[in-house]
């Protein structure tokens, strides 16, 4: 994961976030294919089948939401940052100024989660 900080010469500052599609999300996406084809009635009747499906979909949705929250589409400054911003986002003006040649200072912070990311559904209470 990457955070890019931009500070303009006039003191304005903003930041942008990049979260990759991690290997766990890729694994979950591949596993979902196991649930898309004709299955034996015994397997579908099993409570474990539905429990496992719900579990991987819940985890996958959280990881997908994180990956889709990225504002940076390509994460390297050297090859050019590519942003996905809404037109009314105030950072658009800074990006446009940078594209027009205004000077700004870039700094970055990267972080790697030490373990699996935990997903807490917003509509459920935590114990």
Does residue 8 belong to any structural domain of this protein? Answer: yes
Per-residue pLDDT of the chain (127 residues; tens, 9 = 90+): 889 899 999 999 999 988 888 888 999 999 888 887 788 888 889 899 899 999 999 889 888 988 888 888 766 666 677 878 899 999 999 989 988 999 999 888 988 877 766 666 666 554 4
Contact 83, 95 (CB under 8 A): yes
Does residue 124 belong to any structural domain of this protein? Answer: no
Residue position matching structure tokens 């949705």 = 61
**For residue 76, what pLDDT is reported?**
65
Does residue 33 belong to any structural domain of this protein? Answer: yes
Give how many domains the chain has, as a whole number: 1
| CB-count exposure of residue 63 (10 Å: 0-12, 13-18, 19+) | buried
Does residue 126 belong to any structural domain of this protein? Answer: no
The domain of 37 spans 2-110
Which residues are registered as beta bridge partners of 121?
none
């Amino acid at each position: 994961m990457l955070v890019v900080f931009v500070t303009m010469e006039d003191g304005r500052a903003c930041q942008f976030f990049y979260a990759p599609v991690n290997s766990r999300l890729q694994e979950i996406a591949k596993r979902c294919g196991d649930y898309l084809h004709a299955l034996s009635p015994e397997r579908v009747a099993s409570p474990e089948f539905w429990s496992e499906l719900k579990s991987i979909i819940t985890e996958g949705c959280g990881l997908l939401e994180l990956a889709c929250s990225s504002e940076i589409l390509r994460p390297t400054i050297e090859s050019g940052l590519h942003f996905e911003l809404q037109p009314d986002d105030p950072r658009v003006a800074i990006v446009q100024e940078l594209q027009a040649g205004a000077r700004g200072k870039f700094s970055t912070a990267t972080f790697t989660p030490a373990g699996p990311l935990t997903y807490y559904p917003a509509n459920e209470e935590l114990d």
